[in-house]
Amino acid sequence: MGWPSFPKPFVYTEARRERFQRSKVHLKIQQFKRFIENYRRHIICVVIFSAITVGVFVERAYYYGFASPPTGIADTTFVGILISRGAGASISFMYSFILLTMCRNLITFLRETFFNRYIPFDSAVDFHRWIATGALIFSVLHTLGHIVNVYIFSVTPLSILSCLFTNVFVNDGGLHGAMPNNNTITAIKQ
């Protein structure tokens, strides 16, 4: 009895030529997929940092708009308080991280740890620029919030402002209603 013969294995396979997709839409989709594959750690870090920044903005805006002790100022300039306080908190958060992205010794130390698998430390300068751009946008929002506050306080009647700022305005019951306090006028002259 002889041994059964087995078919010879194919060591090499023949290359198939597939039709090349020349559609611009297909090429853009392929380019987008490659971008996501190459920069997925960068994208995840930027999304997490952006979500935390927006969360800080929303939390501070909510606190000063609805949960803070009532002083009456939020009733007078509601939008300005929300924008300026929320943007100010986001600026503080972003400026604390903008310095960390330029600490070379810290980045060199962290590059040798397991964090290097998750955080792209080699792109710290690009992240620094991204944080600076975000901080600039929030700084403009913060300034616009203060401009809104100044405008609203300038068109608000003095009788309402005297209730809000009792140390600045004194209601003497005269013809003009609330007048600036003498200490305020003295401080302005100096």
* From 11-15, 103-107, 166-170, the region with the lowest mean pLDDT: 166-170
Residue 138 has pLDDT above 90, yes or no: yes
- Burial of 184 (C-beta count, 10 Å sphere; 0-12/13-18/19+): middle
pLDDT tens, 48-100?
Answer: 999 999 999 999 999 988 887 776 666 677 888 899 999 999 999 999 989 98
Per-residue pLDDT tens digits for 19-60: 666 788 888 888 999 999 999 999 999 999 999 999 999 999
pLDDT exceeds cutoff 60 at 187: no
Q: Which of 9-18, 98-107, 151-160 has the lowest mean pLDDT?
A: 9-18
Predicted confidence at residue 173, as pLDDT, reads 53
Higher confidence at residue 2 or residue 141? 141
Domain positions in the chain are 25-156
> Rounded to an integer, what distance in angstroms lies between the CA atom of residue 111 and that of residue 118?
10
